[in-house]
Structure 1
Amino acid sequence: DALLKDGDTIKFGSLTLKVMHTPGHSPGSISLLGEKEVFTGDTLFAGSIGRTDFPRGSEKEMKNSLKKLASLPDHFKVYPGHGPSTTIGEEKKQNPFLNRNWQTL
């Protein structure tokens, strides 16, 4: 076992993923970045986000994590921990937690 931190890389055969610390749902939440995709765990879902009302969850950290994810290219495919896949661009348009109005709050 090893602790992962922001910027670390993980290799699975020929696939290399970069660790992006995306706290909010929990303090240790991470997303894994590939070349054209991101695995978001319980941070970002199609049309929603992970809950922050659990012990040690944080709305402020979630907002910062969502800003990081929103900065990825629109074509990036999103594979959440639950539900269907989507893209960053689609979430910027449709997800009320990732649209531009919410980001300016």
Structure 2
Amino acid sequence: MQILKRAFGEYVTNCYIVKGEQGDLVIDPGQGSFDWVMQNTGKIAAVLNTHGHYDHVYDDAKLQRMGAKIYIHEEDAFMLRTDPFETMPESIEADVLIKGQEQSLEIAGFNVKFSLFAGHTPGSCMIEVGGVIFSGDVIFKGSIGRWDFPFSSGAQMRESLHKILQIEGDFTLYPGHGPNTSLAAERQNLKYFLQFFER
């Protein structure tokens, strides 16, 4: 499995392409990513959004017009229709809504698992593909996602950090911003942030 990565836009948001024999997965196509995606994929099997903030979904509409299906958790789908930051160029409807705490799908030969870790947004997910995790704005190298935006929740973030610490084993993490890291490397950081929430 080959993973391509490039950051785009004002907030340097990571867009990923996961290359597959039956088609490619595009994860979080932010502002300005469209041309790069089209240059580096022959067939888009799906666009997977970790959450609904505009810097992660900005070019969804362009890719949808090319025939790509848009996947997002149902709790964040409203952000594709009505951007709380009023920055999206147009509103769209997602093609596939992820439901509940966890949902696994088969997409073009990939086993894809969405796991809900709310807090940064109501529908923030980490997406497992091929033994690695695309952590969106839930976990970064040395940090976690903010919870002071519209529709964010510190209480939900606290619950999500507890859930993440219960994940067994180690995974390479491909975050929404910044360099890659691993779940093992971030466990102590997560415990630190939990102490902050529990003061």
TM over 0.5: yes
Q: 1:60 to 1:101 in 2, by over 3 A?
A: closer
Q: Does 1:8 align with 2:103?
A: yes
Question: Counterpart in 1 of 2:156?
Answer: 61
CA deviation vs aligned residue, 1:51-70 (integer Å, no higher than 9, x gap): 11001100110111122222
Structure 2 unmatched ranges of 5 or more: 1-94
Secondary structure (helix, strand or coil) at the match of 2:102 reads: coil
Given the alignment, which residue of 72, 75, 88 partners 2:170? 75
SS at match of 2:174: strand
Q: Which amino acid aligns with 1:4?
A: I
SS of 1:99's equivalent in the other structure is helix
TM (norm. structure 1) is: 0.82
8 A Cα contact 2:115 2:125, kept in partner = yes
User: Which structure is richer in relative contact order (CA contacts within 8 A, separation 6 or more)?
Assistant: 1
Return 55-64 or 35-44, whichever deviates more: 35-44
- Taking the TM superposition and a 5 Å limit, the aligned residue runs for 1:1-105 are 1-5=95-99, 6-34=101-129, 36-93=131-188, 95=189, 98-99=190-191, 102=194, 105=198
Query: Deviations 1:42-88 (Å, cap 9, x if unpaired)?
Result: 11111011111001100110111122222223421111111111111
Number of positions where the alignment pairs a residue of Structure 1 with one of Structure 2: 102
Q: Once superposed, what is the RMSD of the aligned Cα atoms?
A: 2.1
Whose Rg is larger? 2
AA of the residue aligned to 2:138: T
**What's the CA shift for 1:31?**
1.1
Stretches of structure 1 lacking an aligned partner (at least 5 in a row): none
Equivalent AA in structure 1 for residue 135 of structure 2: T
Letter in 2 for 1:99: K
Q: Matches of 1:7 and 1:99 in 2, distance apart?
A: 23
Alpha-carbon shift at residue 101 of structure 1 (Å):
7.7
Identical positions, percent: 37
